[in-house]
Amino acid sequence: MKALLGHPSHKAVSLTSKWWESAAAEGCFFRWASHLAVVLLTIAAISLNGFKFPKGHPAFSFSLPPFEAESYASVATIAEPEPADSGSIVRAPVPHTIIPKRPRKGIITYIVQPGDTLCAIAKKFGISADTIMWASGRVEDCPDLLRVGQKLTILPIDGVYHTVKKGETLESIAKQYKVDVSAIIECEYNHLREPYELTVGQKLIVPGGKKPYRPRVVHVYTGPIPKGAAKGTGHFVWPTTGVITQKFWARHKAIDIGNVAGTPIVASDSGYVVKTGWSEYGYGKYVVIDHGNGFQTLYAHLSVILVEPGQSVAKGQKIGLMGSTGWSTGPHLHFEIRYHGVQRNPFGYLP
């Protein structure tokens, strides 16, 4: 046995064994070092994403080294605050700029373009159609009769644009439009200073003010009924083909139907023609038909009139061609139905 222990091969085996044990120890160290490196990299990555470990959790009772904690201190400050009892992962916020919508700082003048309607212009500037009408002179009388190139006054807020008259005071103006005096005084666009003396012709914005509506008066034709005139059935048909560009509302007691110039216009019901010609109120070339049962229909902005006063017409008979005459921003038919002189909503009578 002693001979064997002293044999050179035994020494080789002994050296090999020691090397293997040393290598095994080093391998174990490297494995543990690599595992630790992975854990530290994972913790660093989670920290960069704003993750917060649940407080008191035994699996996360360790902390980052001071150097790493300082390195990521600036990142942690932008993380969203978490509830005290939350252990969820949240996405780090993405910084972006939100530009608030700011009101205009003054009054502007808008030039009417082809195809414009009062409602579309009001929507574009974020104010009511009434505000534009009250500030733009004759538009209040004929809000549906815009013309290309027409100038409209656009206020920065809803209200009435008032021109001071002789003898008026802030109190009387406020009472007229049913607002508090403070609304006029505190309106930054009026630039009022004590003692609040007004001058004739001065312009004031009355925020939230409203003008009373004065309906336009129309009159039923009272002339003689032509012999053999057709009588209406009371059931109306569409007077033309096209797209509804403006509906019936308080300031537009008609409907507008848009199409290309020259589109045929027909009588919506049987009757006789009581008036044709050119309107001084902005209708351009127009036709009025009496249906003999209390109803009248009006067809405006025609390019060509094909009937004459006193002529009997049948339902669906061609009476003219679509145009853009008078106060108009593009080819369309302005169509009204009146019953005993009162303008009615055509949608209530058309199929």
For the chain, the average pLDDT equals: 78
* pLDDT of the residue at 285: 92
DSSP state of 323: B
Peptide bond into 207 cis (omega under 30): no
Alpha helix locations (H) across the chain? 2-5, 8-48, 66-71, 73-76, 118-125, 129-135, 170-176, 181-185
The rounded distance, in Å, linking the Cα atoms of 92 and 17 is 54
Residue of 262, 256, 252, 257 whose CA lies nearest to 318? 262
Whether the Cβ atoms of residue 236 and residue 337 lie closer than 8 Å to each other:
yes
Domains of the chain: 2-76 (no CATH), 108-207 (3.10.350.10), 243-348 (2.70.70.10)
E strands within 182-310? 203-207, 243-246, 255-258, 264-266, 271-279, 284-290, 295-305
What is the dihedral angle through the alpha carbons of 312, 314, 318, 320, rounded to the nearest 10 degrees? 40
Q: Bridge-partner residues for 286, per DSSP?
A: 277
How high is the mean pLDDT in each 10-residue block of the chain (351 residues)? 48 48 54 69 65 50 46 41 54 59 76 88 90 82 73 93 92 93 92 89 93 59 70 92 87 89 94 89 90 94 92 93 90 94 90 86
The rounded distance, in Å, linking the Cα atoms of 135 and 140 is 8
Quick: pLDDT tens for 73-106.
Answer: 334 444 444 554 555 565 656 565 665 556 667 8
Quick: pLDDT tens for 271-310.
Answer: 999 999 888 778 889 999 999 999 999 999 999 999 988 8
206, two tokens = 């009355």
Which amino acid is present at 130?
D
The rounded distance, in Å, linking the Cα atoms of 267 and 312 is 10
Buried b / exposed e over 217-250, threshold 16 CB at 10 Å, is: eeeebeeeeeeebbebeeebebbbebeebbebee
The rounded distance, in Å, linking the Cα atoms of 179 and 169 is 13
Alpha helix locations (H) across 146-204? 170-176, 181-185
Give the angle 138-143-149 at the CA atoms, nearest 5°: 70
